């Protein structure tokens, strides 16, 4: 039997705890947040097999307004003062990317073309739809031209088209038809993103559902958002979920 000794046993090295990771201190994270907020940032380029943040990008700035006249009936660009434009610009660039996509989507409508523009072949056109742009002034939703919309938000036309395309599974497409007198009639129908048209019975069902939804909305909801915006926002919300999105930004 071995003799019992009073010598202390060797201590095992204690496993050190991992330090708390602060992602906000990462250079890549900082550049990503600055880009999201429209601030000055450095884009990355690959040099000798390594990614380097050396592509300097300027801060987003509001661009000059359009040259639309005040007597133009369709577009209401002249009703927006420069102070209102700046407020819209600042609010837009405080949102996350998901919120920006929803915001732009609610203020843009895809409209099917009324007539073909190809002069060589009648009723043949490569363009299936066009866009109508709106901006909010207090509680009003006013139509503006494309230049005014893009310059106020300081974004490109490609971003608008891509964000509209990348939204949820459904969207509203306004079908426009002109009668003999030149009056344009709009008919809202529900379409899949892929472009498959619903049947006429489905269109009537959607119209009835829209009427019942209109009766169920509270007064403040009718005031703040249109029926089409409520339906579209619901589809978008179901697609993106509540990830970093603030519902109050769209009211």
pLDDT tens-digit profile of 111-169?
777 766 666 666 666 677 788 999 998 888 999 999 999 999 999 999 998 888 877 43
The predicted model scores a pTM of: 0.60
For the chain, what is the domain count?
1
Assess if residue 167 is contained within a domain.
Answer: yes
Name the residue among 33, 103, 108, 89 with its Cα closest to residue 246: 103
Residue 189 is assigned to a structural domain of this protein: yes
Find the length of the chain.
251
State how far the alpha carbon of 137 is from the alpha carbons of 84, 158, 232, in Å.
7, 25, 20
Query: Does the residue 35 lie in any domain?
Result: no
- Average pLDDT on 188-200 reads 41
Give residue 149's domain range.
Answer: 63-250
How do the residues of the chain divide into helix, strand and coil, expressed in percent and rounded to 5? 40, 20, 40
């Amino acid at each position: 039997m071995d003799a019992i000794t009073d010598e202390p046993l060797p201590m095992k090295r204690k496993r050190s705890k991992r330090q708390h990771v602060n992602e906000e201190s990462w250079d890549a994270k900082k550049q990503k947040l600055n880009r999201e907020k429209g601030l000055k940032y450095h884009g990355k380029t690959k040099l000798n097999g390594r990614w380097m943040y050396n592509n300097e990008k300027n801060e987003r700035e509001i661009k000059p307004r359009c040259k639309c006249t005040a007597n133009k009936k369709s577009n209401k660009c002249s009703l927006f003062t420069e102070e209102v434009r700046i407020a819209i610009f600042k609010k837009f660039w405080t949102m996350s990317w998901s919120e920006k996509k929803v915001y732009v989507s609610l203020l843009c409508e895809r409209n099917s073309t009324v007539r073909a523009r190809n002069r060589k072949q009648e009723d043949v056109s490569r363009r299936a739809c066009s866009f109508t742009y709106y901006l909010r002034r207090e509680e009003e939703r006013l139509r503006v031209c494309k230049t005014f919309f893009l310059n106020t938000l300081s974004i490109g036309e490609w971003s608008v088209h891509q964000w509209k395309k990348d939204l949820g599974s459904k969207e509203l497409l306004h079908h426009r038809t002109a009668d003999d007198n030149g009056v344009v009639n709009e008919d809202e129908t529900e379409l899949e993103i892929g472009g498959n048209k619903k049947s006429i019975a489905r269109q009537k069902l959607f119209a009835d559902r829209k009427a019942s939804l209109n009766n169920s909305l509270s007064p403040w909801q009718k005031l703040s958002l249109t029926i089409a915006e409520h339906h579209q926002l619901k589809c978008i919300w179901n697609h993106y979920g509540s990830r970093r999105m603030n519902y109050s930004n769209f009211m």
